[in-house]
Copies of this chain bind each other. A is one copy, B any other.
Amino acid sequence: MNDKLVIGLAGMPGAGKSIVVSAAKEGGYGIVVMGDVVREETASRGLELNPQNVGKVMLELREQEGKSVIAKRCIPKIERIPENKILVDGIRSLAEVEEFRRHFPKFTLIAVHSSPETRFKRLYHRQRSDDSASWEVFHERDMRELSVGLGEAIAMAEHLIVNEEKYEVAKRKAKEVLRKVEQKWTK
């Protein structure tokens, strides 16, 4: 049994996951970024780090090693990290949640939610939501994220942070959620 407190973090693009990462860093958490696994694999294959190559390697990895391949490759990283509390940024499916839970019984999932309109404004802050070209790119990215199972992970999160207000409000909510998770597991 691995006794580390591992917290997963999920959210649609622009929802504000970075606020939770920031709160966790301040709280002494080690951070593991799931996307780094794919970038490392892309680099180790001698490919340039551009969105096309990273996307292609991601799909190949999933085909070759299954839906929870990224989670599996994160596990030794989590075990190597000296911190006893770790935040894993970038959960995308329930298959990953199950993989982490098998290794870290205290695994808890936090999700961050904002409306599509709010997320669009954050990601394309100079554009208006009636800019249909940008909206289309944004919407396609949303659909790609949902297609791997991100919506299911969000729906099944143990804690959900609604991030529609100021940065400070979300940051305070994030700290409160981290505190609750820690309290539950240090009893």
> A-side interface residues toward B, CB under 8 Å?
12, 94, 113, 115-117, 142, 146, 149-160, 162
Contacts and interface: CB of A to CB of B under 8 A. Distances in A.
A150 B154 CA distance: 11
Nearest to A145: B155
B151 A155 contact: yes
A139 B146 CA distance: 21
Contact of A150 (B115, B153, B155, B160): B155
Nearest to A153: B151
Contacts of A146: 94, 152, 155-156
* Identical chains bound together, number: 2
Given A151-B154, A154-B155, A160 B117 contact: no
Ranked 3 nearest A-B pairs via Cβ:
A151-B151, A151-B152, A151-B155
A156 B160 contact: no
B158 A151 contact: no
Given A12-B155, A94-B146, A152-B152, 13 more contacts: A12-B156, A113-B155, A113-B157, A117-B158, A146-B152, A146-B156, A149-B151, A151-B153, A151-B154, A151-B155, A151-B156, A155-B155, A160-B160
Nearest to A160: B113
A155 B13 CA distance: 11
Nearest to A15: B155
A89 to B, nearest CB: 17
Contacts of A142: 156
A149 B150 CA distance: 11
